[in-house]
Chains A and B, each alone.
Chain A
Amino acid sequence: MKNLIDKLDKAFENRVRLGIMSALMVNERLNFNTLKELLKVTDGNLASHLKALEQVEYVAMQKEFIGRKPNTNYNATGKGREAFKRHLAALEELIKGSNS
């Protein structure tokens, strides 16, 4: 049981971070405002969690300008996708394990 819990990714312990990653798994990329609306969090809160995911290289950011407005897009990296899949598999195992 202890080993299984260790398999859970620390980066996804937080709900906002888990939410960001879930949304990026099924969308090629999403911009900052869309993520904000989906997760219903403040700018600062979202920015700090995105930063944390960027630091472990699970999420990549592209900045571009639409006219004069900056538009920041985020996408899940290959490393992030793998980590998310492992995290999901660990969750499933934990649920199965505590069933028996």
Chain B
Amino acid sequence: METKDQYLSEISEIKSMMERSSRFISLSGLSGVFAGIYALFGAWLVFDRMYTTDGFFYNRAYSGVYNNDVLFMIGVAIGVLILALGTGIFFTTRKAKKHGLKIWDSTSKRLLINLLIPLATGGIICLILLDKHYYALVAPATLVFYGLSLVNASHHTYRDIRYLGLTQIVLGLVAFMYIGYGLLFWAIGFGVLHILYGTLMYFKYER
């Protein structure tokens, strides 16, 4: 019986070494939850300033686009991004420390590079869209490119990230069909989905 336990522990050691050497497993679900909360708060700020609940779902409070509002939205988006990244790095570092792992190693480098290739491409496309005043296309485009980035990065971390990415892509494509409701889809994608998957991952890997 003792030998059987010995073989089992050998197998689980092999498995753990394979995971640790090829995947970044310090990613904390809590970073997702907080990113989602910030995104919902950001969406509410934009909604409060620019929209009314009259009409079918909700409507712009006025027609036309004012440069001030575009700048306001970009400011809110950057604020949300910085807060989300900061909190994400905090929780992920904490989790890595708890498990005696490094936060900056070959797995996190690979994760970041593979995340950034589609993400930066999408970011540049969104800047071009903003520059050409195709404002309505920006929210769907961010969702699609964010989803593609997650799918690409998922090979180097938890599998759940792949499903989060696929959901974001589908949501982004639907958002392309319903131009004008970008803010709603943005809140679902960056807010609700992050909270959902973050909670799921937290209970799956950190409890």
Contacts and interface: CB of A to CB of B under 8 A. Distances in A.
A23 B21 contact: yes
B18 interface: yes
Interface in A2-48: 15, 18-19, 22-23, 25-27, 30, 34, 37-38
B3 interface: yes
B21 A18 contact: no
B16 to A, nearest CB: 8
A18 B13 contact: yes
B26 to A, nearest CB: 14
Given A22-B21, A30-B21, A34-B105, A98 B1 contact: yes
Contact of A27 (B4, B8, B22, B102): B22
A: interface residue count bin:
10 to 19
B17 A19 contact: yes
B7 interface: yes
Interface string A86-99: 00100110110011
B97 interface: no
B17 A38 contact: yes
A22 B7 contact: no
B52 interface: no
Interface of A: 15, 18-19, 22-23, 25-27, 30, 34, 37-38, 88, 91-92, 94-95, 98-99
22 contacts: A15-B13, A18-B13, A18-B14, A19-B13, A19-B17, A22-B13, A22-B17, A22-B21, A23-B17, A23-B22, A25-B18, A26-B18, A34-B106, A37-B102, A37-B105, A38-B20, A88-B11, A91-B7, A91-B11, A95-B11, A98-B1, A99-B4
